[in-house]
Amino acid sequence: MALLEVENLGIGFPTGGRIVEVVRGVSFKIEAGESVGLVGESGSGKSQTALAIMRLLREPGRITRGAVRFDGTDLTQADEATMRRLRGGAVSIVFQDALSGLNPVFPVGVQLMDVIAAHRDVTREQARERAVAMLNLVGIRNAEERLGHFPHQFSGGMRQRVLIAMAVACEPKLLIADEPTTALDVTVQAQIVALLRDLRERLGLSLLFITHNLDLMGEICSRAVVLYGGLMMEDSPVETLFTAPSHPYSRALLDCVPRLEDEPGMLRPIEGAAFTLATAEAGCPFAPRCVLADARCGREHPPETGQHPHRIACWWSGS
Ligand SMILES: Nc1ncnc2c1ncn2[C@@H]1O[C@H](COP(=O)(O)OP(=O)(O)OP(=O)(O)O)[C@@H](O)[C@H]1O
Ligand SMILES: [Mg+2]
């Protein structure tokens, strides 16, 4: 049994008197100790998927179908008390914006100790000791003194380290990181990824790493799930994805990675207009932009072919 099994997950928002699904039946799994990337253009459903796993979807969004089995328990059916115990305990999430994850009016030490005290039967002193140990673990120097500092007294990269310390303080089995480095500059991004890799090894945690940066994903993930228009396009070992992507959308995504000869920071957009849910049809969402697409692609979404760890949803796969 995998640590996390997302099965046929649907997420919807009521829009104009009906429920529009923004995630439309996505399945993937993460084994214990495995790092899986979740990639795809903006709006493809990555964050909603992460929030649904944690049962943190914002109203009026809700899970419309499917199951999220964590360690065998279906979280879509779990009561709120179970979820509160799990969040920050066995499953943790780190978001892109470290400022929104920290309360500006409390010193980081208080926030860190609160997380520890919420999940562990510890005295104030023990919580404090663990908070110091966690800051040390994520590479923050002068940890004792830093406990008393407020979030604004940390740089962006250091704040992200604090958030990661909070996320791993109770030794989660699964850490979800939703674009944890996007707001940071390039050198700091690499440092945070190195930290996550180090923590994964030391703490033996599994990672769901959501990113737009395929290079960073390659640094830390062994498998990648590619989403588009709320559907899985491909689920593939990272190496295979990088060397021989099967899905035309994966190929297009890889073509967007800036190359050495490009101006720094320049992205190569995929040709054609990005998918919008408003015009979502039954067909493959990538069909309107796909060089291979024919009438069937536009009409009918392809079934998944292949087997874990390499699945593809494309009428042209294998041809
Ligand atoms: N409150 C809402 N009401 C309606 N639709 C929403 C709401 N929140 C998100 N969506 C839609 O859900 C879809 C998926 O959004 P999501 O945030 O998961 O994308 P993402 O892949 O994380 O994108 P990004 O890379 O920009 O973070 C988008 O089309 C978005 O417009
Ligand atoms: Mg997102």
Q: CA–CA separation, 287 vs 289, rounded Å?
A: 5
Number of compact structural domains in the chain? 2
Contact 259, 215 (CB under 8 A): no
User: How does pLDDT run across 62-118, given as a tens digit for each residue?
Assistant: 999 999 999 999 999 999 999 999 999 999 999 887 667 899 999 999 999 999 999
Per-residue pLDDT band at 264 (split at 50, 70, 90): low
Q: Could you give the 3-state DSSP secondary structure of residue 288?
A: helix
Q: Are residues 80 and 105 in the same domain?
A: no
CA of 143 to the centre of ligand 2 (A): 31
Q: What's residue 97's pLDDT?
A: 73
Q: Range with the lowest mean pLDDT among 46-60, 63-77, 222-236, 280-294?
A: 280-294
Q: For residue 171, give the H/E element and its range.
A: none
Domain boundary among 212, 232, 248: 212
Length of the chain, in residues? 319
C-alpha span between 230 and 298 (Å, rounded): 16
- Asked if residue 206 and residue 237 are part of one domain, the reply reads no
Instruction: Examine residue 217 and state whether it is found in any structural domain, yes or no.
Output: no
Residue where a domain stops, chosen among 159, 185, 212: 212
Residues 100 and 183 in one domain: yes
Using 50, 70 and 90 to split pLDDT, how confident is the model at 271?
Answer: confident
Q: For 121-125, 179-183, 225-229, which range has the lowest pLDDT when averaged over its residues?
A: 179-183
- Kindly give the distance from the C-alpha atom of residue 121 to the centroid of ligand 2, in angstroms, as a whole number: 34
The answer to whether 46 and 35 have CB atoms below 8 angstroms apart is: no
Q: How confident is the model at residue 282 (pLDDT cuts 50, 70, 90)?
A: confident
Whether the pLDDT of residue 269 is over 80: the answer is: no
Which residue's entry shows tokens 């087997």?
307
Kindly report the CATH number assigned to the domain that includes residue 132: 3.40.50.300
Peptide bond into 309 cis (omega under 30): yes
Question: If you average pLDDT over residues 119-132, what whole number do you get?
Answer: 97
CA distance 108 to 159: 9
* Same domain for 126 and 42: no
Of 156-170, 175-189, 211-225, 259-273, the poorest mean pLDDT is in 259-273
| Of 247, 236, 216, residue with least CA distance to 307 | 236
Q: What is the residue range of 45's domain? A: 1-87+222-319
Co-location of 179 and 156 in the same domain: yes
Task: Please tell me the distance between residue 217's alpha carbon and the centre of ligand 2 in angstroms.
Answer: 15
Q: What whole-number distance in Å separates Cα of residue 281 and Cα of residue 268? A: 26
Task: Give me the amino acid identity at 87.
Answer: R
Rg of the Cα atoms in the chain = 20
Q: Could you write out the three-class secondary structure of 174-231?
A: EEEEECCCCCCCHHHHHHHHHHHHHHHHHHCCEEEEECCCHHHHHHHCCEEEEEECCE
Q: What percent of the chain has pLDDT over 70?
A: 93
Protein residues whose CB sits closer than 6 Å to any atom of ligand 1: 13, 22, 40, 42-48, 61, 277
Q: Do 75 and 100 have their domain in common?
A: no
Phi, psi at 171, each rounded to 5°: 50, 65
80 and 95: one domain?
no
Q: Has residue 319 got a pLDDT over 60?
A: no
pLDDT in tens, 18-27: 999 999 999 9
Q: For the chain, what is the mean pLDDT?
A: 93
Q: Which atom of ligand 1 is nearest to the CA of 60?
A: 1
Let me know whether 165 and 204 are in one domain. yes
Q: What's the token pair of residue 318? A: 């294998």
